[in-house]
Amino acid sequence: MERRNSKKMLVIGLVLLFLGAGATLVVSANRAWADNFDSYTDGQLLDGTSDDGGWKGWGNAPAAAGMVTSAQFRSAPFSNQIWVVSDNVHEYDGYTSGHWVYTAWQYIPNDFTGMSYFILLSAYDDAGATNVWNVQVNFDADTNLVTSEMDSNTVPLIKGQWNQIRCDIDLDSDYLAIYYADMLIVEKTWSETYDGTGGGPMEIAAVDLWSNGASPVYYDDMSLSPAGAELTCDAGGPYSGEENQAIQFTGFASGGSEPYTWYWTFGDGGSSTVQNPTHAYTTQGTYNVSLIVTDGASSTATDIATTTITEPQPLPLLEIGTITGGFGVTTSVKNTGEADATNVVWTINLDGKLVFLGKSSTDTIATLAFAGDEQIKAGFILGFGKTNIVVSATCDEGVTAELTKSAFVLGPIVLGVK
């Protein structure tokens, strides 16, 4: 605790002249809490005024505010920038039992300097003597490590992308697990407190985003939700296709509170706000596709899929040749495309009501080479009267062809094909 309190007193000393009363928004534990910072204005200081959604400076110090910014965001258009003297606090009320998941998405730029902190407290009284720190994780630019100060457990620091900080808190069984980018940092009892002294209350009281003099770090899409009810989404995939081909994307979401809103980015500058969009790429390559789902409580979930786009492949092109009559029906299937056609299934159908035999003939050409021309013939035909002759062909490559002619059947002879 000494390390934490000494640094806190330094910050409070710097901003003491600016202390003021701040409004605090408390949230009942019978519902989830979430903030994606998108309801504020660009450049707004989260310093404890009535329009700050419950955010304020540590000890009600306005100068310790975070700042709403569009410089970085996970869900457009804003995030909370924590930098230099920022010591941004949000209090909670009534979270004294149950199993909860606290989630915060964090972006640390590649040029980050200093050491910044993410903190959860089980007791908070505006910089008074009864504050209890349960989670204190630092992000160190010098060591490139993320460290739980309770036990010095570390995982690698990841810069230049959004990473999830997740705390699994079970107040009924006194359990805490802290994750960074899905890497487990530490498991311990919640009441143990970050420095191992123990005796902390069974409550989630506040979050503190502390800059500690470091360069900007960004937070977005923060939430406190009942375990098992947190919002999740799935972008499907992996997807593949060819240039200028419409690709069907499929999104899925569960948990949270409906209704859901959907936001896709396709990696080429394109985007969509429908659940299951289609999109065509004009250039070959591999693209990262992002799906962000926002629920009715403003919680968000994100999933990433990949799309691989290749140049269009040569395809066969099927045509039906001239249909002739006589004793039966004869024609051909031609491949005028640029690739072989495989498993070409052809049919010759006669729809005349008085065609008694040979109404339908079918067979398969295993391979029809490009520029190939294969003769096909119907079986024995017997009938009388007018008929349509419908010749069709399809292949494994998805190419089809069809040609229809009229004729007259006289016994086994087909006449007047036109």
Residue 216 sits in a domain of what CATH number? Answer: 2.60.120.200
Mean pLDDT of 115-128: 93
Q: Are residues 280 and 339 in the same domain?
A: no
Q: What is the mean pLDDT of residues 78-86?
A: 98
185 shares a domain with 72: yes
323 and 222 within one domain: no
Region 130-155: what's the mean pLDDT?
94
Assigned token pair, 30? 């019978």
Whether residues 26 and 70 share a domain: the answer is: yes
pLDDT in tens, 351-396: 999 999 999 999 999 999 999 999 999 999 999 999 999 999 999 9
Q: Does residue 57 sit in the same domain as residue 99?
A: yes
CATH of the domain at 267: 2.60.40.10
Given a contact cutoff of 8 angstroms between Cβ atoms, the answer to whether 136 and 148 are in contact is: yes
Measured CA to CA, the distance from residue 251 to residue 294 in angstroms comes to: 12
Task: State whether 130 and 181 are in the same domain.
Answer: yes
Give me the mean pLDDT over the 72-101 stretch: 95
Instruction: State pLDDT tens for residues 4-26.
Output: 444 444 433 433 333 333 333 33
State which residues form the domain around 331: 318-415
Predicted confidence band of residue 66 (pLDDT cuts 50, 70, 90): very high
pLDDT single digits (tens) 194-207? 766 777 899 999 99
- Tokens standing for 330? 């004869």
> Is the CA virtual torsion 271, 276, 277, 280 positive or negative?
positive
150: left (phi over 0), alpha (psi -120 to 50) or beta: alpha
Q: How many other C-beta atoms lie within 10 A of the C-beta of residue 259? A: 8
Average pLDDT of span 385-414: 97
The answer on 18 and 38 residing in a single domain is yes
What sign does the dihedral 255-261-266-272 (CA atoms) show?
positive
Give the pair of three-digit tokens for residue 339.
Answer: 């690739």
Computed over every residue of the chain, the mean pLDDT equals 90
| Residue 405, pLDDT score | 98
Bridge-based pairing of strands 66-69 and 183-188 is unpaired
Query: Are both 214 and 244 inside the same structural domain?
Result: no
Give the pLDDT of residue 229: 79
Burial track 77-88 (b if 16+ CB lie within 10 A, e otherwise): ebbbbbbebbbb
Beta strands 145-148 and 153-156 are antiparallel
Residues 191 and 123 sit within 8 Å (Cβ to Cβ): no
171 and 293 part of one domain: no
Are residue 82 and residue 221 in the same domain, yes or no?
Answer: yes
Better-predicted residue by pLDDT, 273 or 298: 273
**Domains contained in the chain, number:** 3
Given 310, 336, 359, the domain boundary residue is 310
Residues 208 and 158 grouped into a single domain: yes
Report pLDDT for 409: 97
In the prediction, which pLDDT does 195 show? 67
- Do 201 and 95 lie in one domain? The reply is yes
Closest C-alpha among 363, 388, 361 to residue 374? 363
Distance CA 110, CA 113 (A): 9
